Amino acid sequence: MYDMKHAPTFDHSVMRPDILGAEFLGEGTNFALFSDHATKVELCLFDDSGQQELHRLELPEMEGGIWFGYLPGVMPGQVYGYRVHGPYEPEQGHRFNPNKLLLDPYARELRGQIQWDDALHGYQVGEDDLSFDTRDSAAFMPKAVVVDAKFDWDTDRAIRTPWQNSVIYEAHVKGLTQMHPGVPEGDRGTFRGLGSDAVIEHLQRIGALAIELLPIHAFANDRFLGEKGLSNYWGYSTLAFFAPHAPYLKSGQIREVKEAIRKLHKAGIEVILDVVYNHTAEGNELGQTMSLRGIDNASYYLLSPDNPRHGFDTTGTGNTLNVAHPMVLRMVMDSLRYWVEAMHVDGFRFDLASTLGRETQGFERDGSFFNAIRQDPVLSGVKLIAEPWDIGEGGYQVGGYRWPFREWNDKFRDDTRAFWRRDPGLLPALSERLAGSPVQFNHSHRPATSSVNFVAAHDGFTLWDTVSYNDKHNDANGEDNRDGHDHNLSDNLGAEGATDEPGIIAARIRRVRAMLATVLLSQGVPMILAGDDFGNTQDGNNNAYCQDNAISWLEWDKAREEVLLAVQALSAFRQDVSLSQSRFGVAPADADDRHPVMEWLHPRGGAMEDGDWQDGELRCFALQQALPDGKNVLIVVNAGEDAEFALPEGEWVLRIDTSADEVAQDRPLSGTVPVPWQTVMALVR
């Protein structure tokens, strides 16, 4: 490693503008940063602690807005940052301030945490944002670290689980592991805990074939939350798109992420990352200058065309990343490819994906970002999931994405909750959800696996809280219970919150099992929120984004075995009968050898008639599916009181009964059979 007592010298014969970030090339490191409007870029080298700046070197070359230089002898472990010179003209969108140390947007590993201080602002706090602050921010900033990408992946390779087989488990690295008794105490809250035998065994037990992790990219713990004694638990405030969040690393080294992914892959479990490329942690024009704002605000962010002093905010966070810019798009694409090629992740869920499709005329399903991914030989082959909305005009786009994207389907969540709450007139809506929501997704050659079906996700009530609370209880968030939405479609079934009443507990278990069965027995891709598989509660908090504590952490010692066994049985049945299909179902009149044939049945026997669909009090019906492999599956749902159902002719075998103590069944049935209240039954012929 280079002796940092003396300033290293750039080698002009080796330096490269085509590889952005800090790339170790075997005997030295190439540094490259894009800034179209800068006049000078300085590379700052720090000691191992990141506290002392040792050398400040001007990057010697610039081509196409990329500033670059190669330093021989600079090895992995070197701590660094940037200072970027240029015009400070906020009214023109330019906010260069070389007094502010800036994080490399391509940083692979970080050293240190943000220490909130007014010096992090490019302007003088207390004055307007047209003022200029001369204080050095380096002492308060995390720094980037040069890394060596070498890792022994052994025989690890992409699993590529077919969409129709996948069952997704949405989880938080810390929340999943922090209170798990089977995870070594020192590994809890980290990737080592995520890759522990105890966590993997649980995922295998419930049939999860993919784990979707809430943001693991390095993120900021927002200042306003820290001042209230809270923190950014969910992580939707990205600071660096290539680096993992340092507190999730026990050793601080990125190899821990690779080790966890390698173990999960050996267990047959894919890893999907929830990624936030729509905005960053820098906020609006009154926010901090920590990275992109100081590197080139006018290139990296969408600015108001009428007044570039202000950002164009479609995310509700103060800024919007300008992915329509070719170099910003390249940064996002480079980040995605890095996580696939270097870190071996299997897919991505895109937060507020509609923002990524915003062009000059609004949301474009054929926008530059989506088209770039669709043609990319690396990214087009991994799992891609859109959160198909943002808060901007025209942002709600459920069903509006092209293949190969899948989409979170909030219509499934709302209709399923309302149906099992016994709201009237929901049979037509639930029939759509059981069939894979064809109205939304059966177009543009999209498959029947386009809908990601869920009844609860990280944002909102847990499933257990959906049957335990009529109202949100976000008192711990410090906003007098004003935050979080009120459209919970919940029902406490007789008591608000926890209760010892056996009848209420039994009813809650019955309804939770029925809702989980709806998720796991519908066409599409099922997603289960971590903890919903065993009745986890957040005490009625439906916006626990700031609760890095027992409110959000899974309480494994309170797991309800009755719920867990139901999920296990439902997942096994789904795989055993190959229930999920890649093609949408057709009516019996259109039967062929490629599509499942679907028919809706009334409890009295025979097909549902037009008038039956308008019966607002009817809460029991069935979906009969003739699958292409010859199996016939009958899914009977009953959200009402005890009922009787006339089975189609033939010898049926009852395989699932969510009202029974043992959900998994193997019992022949024929004729008219009882269907208990709040029950899902699955039969095979």
163-408: CATH architecture? Alpha-Beta Barrel (3.20)
What are the DSSP calls for 562-588, one per residue?
HHHHHHHHHHHHHHHTT---SS--B-G
Q: Which of 256, 270, 387, 491 is catalytic?
A: 387
Whether 48 is catalytic is no
Where are the domain boundaries for CATH 2.60.40.10 in the chain?
Answer: 21-146
CA distance linking residue 7 with residue 389, whole number of Å: 50
CA–CA distance, 530 with 89 (Å, rounded to integer): 47
List the chain residues with pLDDT less than 70: 1-4
The yes-or-no answer on residue 63 being catalytic is no
Q: Please give the CATH architecture assigned to the domain spanning 588-684.
A: Sandwich (2.60)
Active-site residue identified among 23, 133, 285, 351 = 351
Best CATH choice for the domain 21-146 from the list 3.10.20.30, 1.20.140.10, 3.20.20.70, 2.60.40.10: 2.60.40.10
The 3-state DSSP class for residue 129 equals coil
Structure tokens at 128: 């307007």
Of 535, 532, 272, give the one whose Cα is nearest residue 408.
Answer: 272
Taking only the tens place, the pLDDT of each residue in 488-518 is 999 999 999 999 999 999 999 999 999 999 9
Q: Does residue 446 contact residue 404 with C-beta atoms inside 8 Å?
A: no
Predicted pLDDT at 2: 59
- Res 6: pLDDT: 81
Where exactly does CATH 2.60.40.1180 map onto the chain?
A: 588-684
pTM of the model: 0.96
Range(s) of the chain covered by CATH 3.20.20.80: 163-408
Q: Using alpha carbons only, how large is the chain's radius of gyration in Å? A: 27
Contact criterion met (CB below 8 Å) for 68 and 62: yes
